[in-house]
Structure 1
Amino acid sequence: MQLRVTFVAAARSSSLLAERFEDDRPLDQAGWDEVLAVAHDLLPLAAAELRYCSPTPRSRATGDALGYAPLVQLALRDCDMGRWRGLTLGEAMAREPESVDAWLADPRATPHGGESLLDFITRVGGWLDTRPVGDGGRIVAVAEPAVIRAALVYALKAPPSTYWNIDVRPLSATTVTGRAGRWNLRFEGAPAQPART
């Protein structure tokens, strides 16, 4: 039986330019408003047999607000960014420009002392490959955009550098179907999203 895994990107807790590595801030009012604006379109995913989320406060809050009552999965945590945790990309670049360049260029690099991009993609892919097949094989997982990008790179067996070319918008839904080692990306209609800078 094939699985159908739909990833829902957590609502934002800040503007895009203020996004931080391993951001553990809760949803702000704008994030809550965004969830309420698209809840009607995402609510049907609560019928999935298995419902999961990343351990971040905003992923848990997004899943709860959508009625999913998700189970936290540590394997769906964001990439371990070591000493860059809590920094924006701009802040890390200002402090360690050569290290950031090395990290962006080499998927095996860990100049921050944390997890490499390749290890992150492999971890998230391992989670995807070990999902149990439920009665109908439907799963929903609310996760950080970085986690969803990693899952897509893994599912498509794309080069790790593809990670940087995938844009996952807050509260977007992305579905992969298949089974361990053989995944397909499925495009579906996405709910309209309120503009936010």
Structure 2
Amino acid sequence: MPLRVTFVAAARSSPLLAERFEDDRPLDQAGWDEVLRGAGELRPLAAADLRYCSPTPRSRATGDALGYAPLVQLALRDCDMGRWRGLTLGEAMAREPASVDAWLADPRSTPHGGESLLAFISRVGGWLDTRPAADGRIVAVAEPSVIRAALVYVLKAPPATYWNIDVRPLSATTVTGRAGRWNLRVDGAPAQAARP
């Protein structure tokens, strides 16, 4: 059986439109409420052989609240956004519209002075590829951006695909395989038998 890695998106710390680059704020009340509502489905993942999280306060708090007692992994940190750290996309656009356009168009660009999208995807993929090769289960609570980067890497998709992946708070995404050979696993509710 291949290695199974389930990424759980951290609960939120702000409304979607107020999300900030490299947001290190703790969970807000809505985030805590989300964790309480989703705990029943996500708590069984605590039985994983290894449990990790991004270094953000909301990832750590989400993992702890779900009973994972996760180990912080620096490789699962958000993309280094340089001087845009702490800004919303709208704020960065208002200050540096041409730079934001260049960053969105070219996955190798670093107009903010931080990490390129391509480097971010490679870093997260490198973390995935260095997980223990033995069969087992891993759970990792991470920022939605980290999960998007992991999915681009797993699917070997063009970096621009990153912008087309929507990861909701407390969603679970599973990949299976081993270094360099990953598959996205989509689990859904079983179809109910048709009634006569």
Q: Shorter-chain TM-score: what band? A: over 0.9
3-state SS, counterpart of residue 103 of structure 1? helix
Q: Which residue of 2 aligns with 1:102?
A: 102
> Matches of 1:65 and 1:37 in 2, distance apart?
11
3-state SS, counterpart of residue 151 of structure 1? helix
Q: Which residue of 1 aligns with 2:13?
A: 13
Q: Which residue of 2 aligns with 1:64?
A: 64
> Matches of 2:98 and 2:25 in 1, distance apart?
28
> Matches of 2:181 and 2:159 in 1, distance apart?
17
1:171 Cα deviation from its structure 2 partner:
0.2
Equivalent residue letter for 1:141: A
1:3 Cα deviation from its structure 2 partner:
0.6
> Matches of 2:110 and 2:12 in 1, distance apart?
26
1:99 Cα deviation from its structure 2 partner:
0.1
The 5 A counterparts of 1:1-197 are 2-134=2-134, 136-189=135-188
Equivalent residue letter for 1:82: G
Deviates more, 1:152-161 or 1:125-134: 125-134
> Matches of 2:169 and 2:34 in 1, distance apart?
9
Q: Which residue of 2 aligns with 1:193?
A: none
> Matches of 2:136 and 2:98 in 1, distance apart?
45
> Matches of 2:83 and 2:150 in 1, distance apart?
24
1:133 Cα deviation from its structure 2 partner:
3.5
Percent of aligned pairs with the same amino acid? 89
> Matches of 1:61 and 1:120 in 2, distance apart?
23
3-state SS, counterpart of residue 157 of structure 2? coil
The structure number with the bigger radius of gyration is 2
3-state SS, counterpart of residue 167 of structure 2? coil
- Give 5+ residue unaligned stretches, structure 2: 190-196
> Matches of 2:175 and 2:137 in 1, distance apart?
10
1:167 Cα deviation from its structure 2 partner:
0.2
> Matches of 1:156 and 1:178 in 2, distance apart?
12
- Give 5+ residue unaligned stretches, structure 1: 191-197
Equivalent residue letter for 2:164: N
> Matches of 2:142 and 2:29 in 1, distance apart?
19
TM-score (norm 2): 0.95
> Matches of 1:126 and 1:2 in 2, distance apart?
17
- After superposition, give the CA deviation of every residue in 1:65-115 in whole Å (9 maximum; x if it has no partner): 000000000000000000000000000000000000000000000000000
TM-score (norm 1): 0.94
3-state SS, counterpart of residue 17 of structure 2? helix
> Matches of 1:30 and 1:152 in 2, distance apart?
26
1:188 Cα deviation from its structure 2 partner:
1.3
> Matches of 2:55 and 2:79 in 1, distance apart?
12
